[in-house]
Amino acid sequence: LADRVKNPDVQKNVWVEFVGLAMENQALNVGQGFPNFPPIQHVMDGLSSIPVENHLNNQYTRGFGHAPFIQALGDFYGPLFDRKLDVHNEILVTVGAYYSLYAATQALINPGDEAIIIEPFFDCYAPMVRYAGGTPKFIPLKPAGKANDANDWKLDMDHLQSLVTDKTKVIFFNNPNNPLGKVFTHEEIQALCDFCIKNDIICLADEVYEHLAYNPQPHLRIGNYPGMYERTITMGSAGKTWSCTGWKIGWSIGPPDLIKAMQIVWQNSIYTCATPLQEACARSFRLEMERPFDGHPKDNPDSYFRTLTEVELKPKREKMAKILESVGMKPIIPNGGYFMIADASPLAKIIPEAELDDSNDPWDYKAVRWMCRQKKIAAIPNSAFYSEGHKKEYENYIRFCFAKDDATLDKFEEMMVAGF
Ligand code: PMP
Ligand code: GLN
């Protein structure tokens, strides 16, 4: 009955293959995006201090989000959107940001609708659009100038406009971008706002790396631009915010009519998220709010987000770039997030052609498989973040994750130097 499966074209999945391959080969994992160091102490304390003897903490909680958590989200994000959020109607808590994306696509995209996706994109956007019966239309960010800085990759607004038809309903806007690490500037966001408003398009703003923008580049929220809140769903992730990706708690914030449509998908599919984890997230936001800020949460010198980015991750970013350069790769320095893509084409001279698998996959898939099997280093092929039609153009890059402890990065350096 395999021929009856819906959407067979979405069966290939980069995480299923490459996370599996890393485990099979017991490889050093500098690919998948999760910190292998502990979350901040207050997040762990927040979870371990939940009174489980209060039996309500063990039962279903409010479906669209645990009350203390939506209140905390409202208090934290309200000032960032310059408005008082109606927490019952403008917030939905979901199983990770993944399910926010899924609920949004199911809620908004009808068969025949079109969705614009900026490449490189978090790989699930396209299959989610297709599951909803829609058609994704792709536009790549193009490197300009020396292009060794993620922000040198630009969106061609005329090209973007040319993709619009009377069926275009949404645009996915991932800022900071995974895998590239671009953080969009004020001018770029303003141009996107003008585009959405002019063409009456809804913006799905995936901002899971919102707190991971490196100084001096600020992260700006598209949902906070004039005329945008009413057409934007902003998605966040506790996994990325508190370095606890295994918790799988995410949220969407937006205008009541769009959030309501997502709540309907949610109430009929999952209904509620784990109570203790939501309680712990509420506690973490409350603790962070004890460190007042004006403008951006990172502005308080004691802010977790500042410590994580400026103190912990920035040196790791430098170290990762140096390691990649030392074996001849050309890294593109990210301004946000914890991924780095690098032009790995110089490795093509080193990797024996005969040792690459004979699939029709792009070069980076084969090179990353080879690296995992032969060198026990696990990374992610960059072209996984591109549509079929554009994969070949971007197959020279490999994505690495530098949210790894120093021992892992040291080991990575040793293995790279010995291996290439
Ligand atoms: N969007 C992007 C851009 C991501 O990288 C990820 C992976 N964390 C998600 C959404 C999903 O987030 P979560 O783990 O909270 O489901
Ligand atoms: N968002 C993470 C990444 O991009 C993890 C995704 C996943 O494991 N599915 O690496």
At position 74, the amino acid (one-letter code) is G
Signed CA dihedral, 103, 250, 20, 141: sign only = positive
Nearest ligand by distance to the CA of 120: 1
How confident is the model over 8-20, as a mean pLDDT? Answer: 89
Whether ligand 2 lies within 6 angstroms of the CB of 33 is answered as yes
Q: What is the DSSP string of 248-305?
A: -EEEEE--HHHHHHHHHHHHTTT----HHHHHHHHHHHHHHHTS--SSSGGGSTT-HH
- CB 113 within 8 Å of CB 104: no
32 lines ligand 2 (CB under 6 A): yes
**What is the reported pLDDT for 292?**
83
The verdict on the CB of residue 31 being under 6 Å from ligand 2 is: no
Confidence of residue 208 (pLDDT cuts 50, 70, 90): very high
Task: Indicate the average pLDDT of the chain.
Answer: 96
Residues 226-273: tens digit of each pLDDT = 999 999 999 999 999 999 999 999 999 999 999 999 999 999 999 999
Ligand closest in space to the Cα of 96 = 1
- C-alpha–C-alpha distance, residues 367 and 382, integer Å: 11
The ligand placed nearest to the CA atom of residue 19 is 2
Interatomic CA distance for residues 373 and 24, integer angstroms: 9
Tell me if 341 sits within 8 A of 368, measured CB to CB. Answer: no
Question: With 80 as the cut, is the pLDDT of residue 7 above it?
Answer: no
Q: Which H or E run includes 71?
A: helix 67-80
Answer whether 305's CB lies under 8 Å from 211's CB.
yes
Q: Return the pLDDT at 294.
A: 78
Q: Is the pTM of this model over 0.90?
A: yes
Q: Ligand 2: which of 15, 30, 100 to mutate, most ligand atoms within 8 Å of CB? A: 15
Question: Is there an atom of ligand 2 within 6 Å of 17 CB?
Answer: no
The tokens 């479906």 sit on which residue?
A: 63
Among all bound ligands, the one having the nearest atom to the CA of 401 is 2
* pLDDT > 80? residue 195: yes
**Interval 204-212 mean pLDDT:** 98
Q: pLDDT at position 156, please?
A: 98
From CA 349, how far away is CA 80, in angstroms rounded? 49
Kindly report the protein residue whose alpha carbon is nearest to atom 2 of ligand 2.
Answer: 33
Mean pLDDT of 129-133: 95
Domains, the chain:
2-39+303-419 (3.90.1150.10), 41-299 (3.40.640.10)
Q: What pLDDT, on the 0 to 100 scale, is given for residue 118?
A: 98
- Please state the φ and ψ torsions of residue 2, each to the nearest 5 degrees: -60, -25
Give the binding-site residues of ligand 1, using a 6 Å CB cut-off.
33, 96-98, 122, 174, 178, 206, 208, 237, 239-240, 245, 248, 250
Pocket lining: 178 vs ligand 2, CB cutoff 6 Å: yes
How do residues 266-304 score in pLDDT, each as one tens digit?
Answer: 999 999 999 999 999 999 999 999 988 877 888 888 999
Among 19, 212, 237, 249, the mutation site with the greatest number of ligand 1 atoms within 8 A of its Cβ is 237
